[in-house]
């Protein structure tokens, strides 16, 4: 595949593997436990000033419909079989025959601010996805990537690919010199696939130079499975908020949902496999209560076996807890310094002596990685960093040299099994879902609202048109 700067390839999304790894791991678990559950997803643009034209929307529609043509290739299947050995045979057999059906499962709409019928009309885009969870789970990442690509093909076009590989190489080297363990997490808000490929090629060069120079840091991989296959680098990822949101909506019990979701996860993949846990779907304090529960994995077709109706543990011999078995946790919202403090206090309180890992993944740049690395190591943690948009959508306007900012767009599970699905996180700006359900669950869980001073979702990657630091 040619990744030169003058011949972008490909347009749009052409592979099931052009997604984040955790979509495949979650699809595997959904197939095992919830193969017939119906769900819906909702789109949100946290940068509403960035709109599409009618022409951009039409391109987006065409690309969405093309998703129905994708099939898993033999090479891709072999890669998953040999590299992602935690994906079981029933799932890989399913994926081998699987096809998306966007014409029936995705509703894309365009509402112009002023409707003249022209291709130049500007307006709001909305995306709604409905269908079986096991089928529709693969839409999120492609739809976000395509929406971003549409914007930068039609709306903000004053940019070039020039220097992207070199910029990524420089960023990678700076992180390696500082001893950071870094993976690339930038698929969903990338400028396009070609940008991500250029960026990752730069990171691979940094990886090789770092190894030659025996630098203390490490480029550990990418969340994008397709690029991992192309470059011979490990795919990185475990689980997303969607898993906890879905299990909570299906069971209707938010007080036990986190424990149940963790139990299903271990039941699907085993203890110690895919062992970085995401803490903030319903707030980290709620998660930590479940994290200290003893593990009793859920087998096929079983109800949650972790407790009897009285709430007492069944087994007389107490098994290990989730916190003991999981390698560590991922921080994705709220104040990272406070999160490190909370996790240190938690592990100390429950008597876990082994060194654990914190993975940071919330809107990172180099300075933040270095800051959080220092805080984590001083608290006795290993740490690593999932860096996304800072790698794959870091551009300037060609004519002015000022900042060209990304879209901040998300697609979240909005219902499962006919019930509202919500997320309340560790920062109010990242809350999603039906407002009445959000408030009800907050009261049930005793959730304390948090508003991090650096958590403005509209300006996580700078301000449009601002001067760029040299």
- Contact call for residues 227 and 200 (beta carbons, < 8 A): yes
Determine the Cα angle at 330 with ends 81 and 244, to 5°: 75
- Contact call for residues 155 and 123 (beta carbons, < 8 A): no
The rounded distance, in Å, linking the Cα atoms of 256 and 259 is 6
Homologous superfamily of domain range 21-159+408-459: nicotinate phosphoribosyltransferase (3.20.140.10)
The rounded distance, in Å, linking the Cα atoms of 94 and 215 is 42
Q: Which residues pair with 395 in a beta bridge?
A: 404
The rounded distance, in Å, linking the Cα atoms of 58 and 53 is 9
Structural tokens at position 332: 């994705």
User: What are the residue ranges spanned by the domains of the chain?
Assistant: 21-159+408-459
The rounded distance, in Å, linking the Cα atoms of 331 and 341 is 12
Q: How many CB atoms lie within 10 A of CB 103?
A: 11
Write down the H helix ranges in 255-388.
257-269, 284-291, 322-325, 336-349, 366-378
- Contact call for residues 323 and 352 (beta carbons, < 8 A): yes
pTM above 0.85, yes or no: yes
- Contact call for residues 137 and 129 (beta carbons, < 8 A): no
Q: What is the pLDDT along the chain (470 residues), one digit of tens a residue?
A: 444 444 456 799 999 999 999 999 999 999 999 999 999 999 999 999 999 999 999 999 999 999 999 999 999 999 999 999 999 999 999 999 999 999 999 999 999 999 999 999 999 999 999 999 999 999 999 999 999 999 999 999 999 999 999 999 999 999 999 999 999 999 999 999 999 999 999 999 999 999 999 999 999 999 999 999 999 999 999 999 999 999 999 999 999 999 999 999 999 999 989 999 999 999 999 999 999 999 986 766 554 444 333 334 444 567 899 999 999 999 999 999 999 999 999 999 999 999 999 999 999 999 999 999 999 999 999 999 999 999 999 999 999 999 999 999 999 999 999 999 999 988 877 788 999 999 999 999 999 877 766 666 556 667 887 887 75
Q: Which residues pair with 20 in a beta bridge?
A: 224
């Amino acid at each position: 595949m040619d990744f030169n700067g003058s011949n972008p390839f490909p347009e749009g999304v052409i592979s099931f593997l052009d997604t984040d790894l955790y979509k495949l791991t979650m699809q595997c678990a959904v197939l095992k436990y919830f193969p017939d559950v119906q769900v819906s997803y909702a789109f949100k643009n946290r940068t509403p000033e960035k709109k599409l034209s009618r022409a951009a929307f039409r391109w987006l529609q065409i690309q969405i419909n093309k998703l129905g043509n994708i099939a898993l290739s033999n090479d891709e299947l072999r890669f998953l079989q040999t590299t992602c050995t935690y994906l079981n045979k029933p799932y890989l057999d399913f994926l081998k025959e699987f096809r998306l059906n966007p014409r029936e499962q995705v509703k894309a709409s365009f509402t112009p601010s002023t409707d003249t019928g022209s291709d130049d009309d500007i307006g709001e885009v909305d995306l709604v996805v409905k269908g079986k969870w096991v089928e529709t789970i693969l839409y999120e990442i492609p739809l976000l990537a395509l929406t971003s690509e549409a914007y930068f093909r039609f709306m903000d076009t004053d940019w070039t690919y020039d220097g992207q590989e070199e910029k990524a190489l420089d960023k990678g080297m700076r992180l390696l010199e500082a001893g950071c363990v870094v993976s690339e997490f930038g698929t969903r808000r990338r400028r396009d696939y070609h940008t991500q490929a250029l960026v990752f090629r730069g990171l691979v060069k940094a990886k090789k130079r770092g190894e030659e120079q025996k630098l203390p840091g490490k480029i550990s991989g990418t969340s994008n499975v397709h690029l991992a296959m192309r470059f011979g680098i490990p795919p990185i990822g475990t689980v997303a908020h969607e898993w906890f949101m879905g299990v909570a909506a299906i069971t209707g019990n938010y007080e036990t949902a986190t424990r149940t979701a963790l139990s299903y996860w271990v039941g699907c993949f085993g203890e110690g496999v895919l062992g970085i846990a995401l803490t903030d779907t319903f707030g980290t304090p709620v998660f930590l209560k479940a994290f200290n529960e003893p593990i009793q994995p859920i087998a096929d077709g079983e109800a949650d076996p972790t407790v009897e109706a009285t709430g007492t543990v069944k087994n007389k011999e107490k098994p290990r807890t989730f916190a003991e078995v999981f390698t560590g946790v991922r921080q994705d919202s709220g104040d990272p310094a406070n999160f490190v403090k909370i996790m240190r206090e938690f592990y100390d309180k429950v008597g876990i002596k082994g060194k654990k890992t914190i993975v940071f993944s919330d809107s990172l740049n180099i300075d933040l990685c270095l800051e959080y690395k220092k805080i984590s190591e001083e608290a006795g943690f290993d740490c690593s960093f999932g860096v996304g948009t800072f790698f794959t959508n870091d551009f300037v306007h060609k004519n002015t040299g000022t900042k060209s900012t990304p879209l901040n767009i998300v697609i979240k599970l909005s219902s499962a099994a006919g019930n509202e699905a919500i997320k309340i996180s560790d920062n109010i700006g990242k809350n999603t879902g039906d407002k009445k359900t959000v408030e009800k669950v907050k009261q049930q869980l005793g959730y304390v609202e948090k508003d991090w001073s650096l958590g403005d979702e509209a300006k996580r990657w700078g301000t449009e048109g601002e001067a760029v630091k040299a």
